């Protein structure tokens, strides 16, 4: 698989858009490993890493719920994929409240 550096041009815009939609401030965290689909499936990528949206100053319960819904599917290769899944689950969570 050809690995290229993650495109950071849209990072700030994505964080701002997520904050406007959710009403909370979230920013990207980067990790060099991730569990994907199970705790036993650990993937490593020290060159590019994986990104996850994290609350900056706590949130209203969504993040804990998101962790429980997707315990092994939170770290993504792109900011865009991370935000799409994050907002999909935020919409699902917010509409059920």
| Residue 67 is assigned to a structural domain of this protein | yes
| Residue 50 is assigned to a structural domain of this protein | yes
| Residue 17 is assigned to a structural domain of this protein | yes
Q: Mean pLDDT, to the nearest integer, of 65-84?
A: 93
Q: HEC states along the chain?
A: CCCCCCCCCCHHHHHHHHHHHHCCCEEEEEECEEECCCCCCEEECCCCCEEEEEECCCCCCHHHHHHHHCCCCCCECCHHHHHHHHHHHHHHHHHCC
Number of domains forming the structure of the chain: 1
pLDDT of residue 81: 94
| Residue 4 is assigned to a structural domain of this protein | no
d(CA 11, CA 25): 13
Listed in sequence order, the residues at least 6 apart from 23 whose beta carbon sits closer than 8 Å to its beta carbon are none
pLDDT of residue 4: 53
| Residue 40 is assigned to a structural domain of this protein | yes
pLDDT digits over 6-44, tens only?
677 789 999 999 999 999 999 999 999 898 888 888 888
Supply the range of the domain harboring residue 54: 11-90
| Residue 95 is assigned to a structural domain of this protein | no
pLDDT of residue 38: 87
pTM of the model: 0.87
| Residue 96 is assigned to a structural domain of this protein | no
Q: Mean pLDDT, to the nearest integer, of 59-80?
A: 93
**In this model, does residue 5 exceed pLDDT 70?**
no
| Residue 6 is assigned to a structural domain of this protein | no
């Amino acid at each position: 698989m050809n690995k290229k550096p993650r495109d950071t041009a849209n990072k700030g815009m994505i964080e701002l858009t997520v904050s406007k939609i959710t009403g909370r401030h979230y920013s990207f965290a980067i990790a060099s490993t991730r569990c994907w689909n199970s705790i036993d499936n650990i993937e490593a990528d020290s060159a590019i890493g994986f990104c996850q949206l994290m609350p900056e100053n706590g949130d209203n319960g969504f993040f804990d719920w998101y962790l429980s819904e997707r315990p092994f599917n939170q770290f993504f290769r792109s900011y865009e994929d991370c935000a799409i899944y994050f907002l999909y689950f935020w919409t699902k969570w917010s509409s059920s409240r």
